[in-house]
Structure 1
Amino acid sequence: MSPVADERDRIRAAMDRILRGTPEHSNGALTIVALAVEAGAPRNALTQRHTDLKNEFYDKVRARGGTPDSERRLREQIRRLKELRAADAEELGQLKADVEALVGALHQATMENLHLRQQLADRHAVICALPTQAPLGK
């Protein structure tokens, strides 16, 4: 699809309207999507054909002291992901500690079982049965 002859002019006019706060065809967000809608052009016109205009738009937004909406959303997502990563790291640390404790308990039970089997094999050993406990939850 070939670009329309006045596409660059329409993008520049749309850029001016959005930056002035007087959008006519979009919600006026400081995003490439809103700029494309405002200009009546496909988004890929800015992301592929007119990347210089896309960069100019973002430069003007930053020069005004604003942060593009897309950047603000990404920063918020990064913040949430960092929080999740920290929570996961804490949980992983606890799980590792639990595994070590369980391995220790398993080793102890295995050694006790081995000892009992050796006593059982020795016919002269005295083995006392331990009282059984009722299953949990009853």
Structure 2
Amino acid sequence: MNQQHQDERTRIRQAMDRLPKRRGQHEFYERVRTETQQVPEHEQELRETIATLKKTIANQNAELQELVTSLTLAGAVLTHTMPTLPAPTPPPDNVFTLRPRPGLIPLGRFSRRLGPG
């Protein structure tokens, strides 16, 4: 092996050491921060996006809380102002109450018989 070949191998190994490893992604970024004395640009963008999303979530939670309060108050007002319904009156003597036959399950327009038969 000649010197040029050896230098190229050394440069490749050094470059590989600088690449992020699967398990060492966090270590790689720490090394970048310490070497450059700054946070990488994409990390700054991500942090800004996260901060914006947190503000959006907080605003939406506050708005939802206001809506829940308003709906609760509206329900209380409706319940308080709604007149109470009178007790149902019994049917007159000339009206017969239709009751389903025992053993039938009402299913809309059709009925299905329980058991054999």
Give the alignment's TM-score, normalised by structure 1: 0.43
Greater relative contact order (Cα < 8 A, sep 6+): 1
Q: Select the structure that is richer in helix.
A: 1
From the CA coordinates, give the structure whose radius of gyration is larger: 2
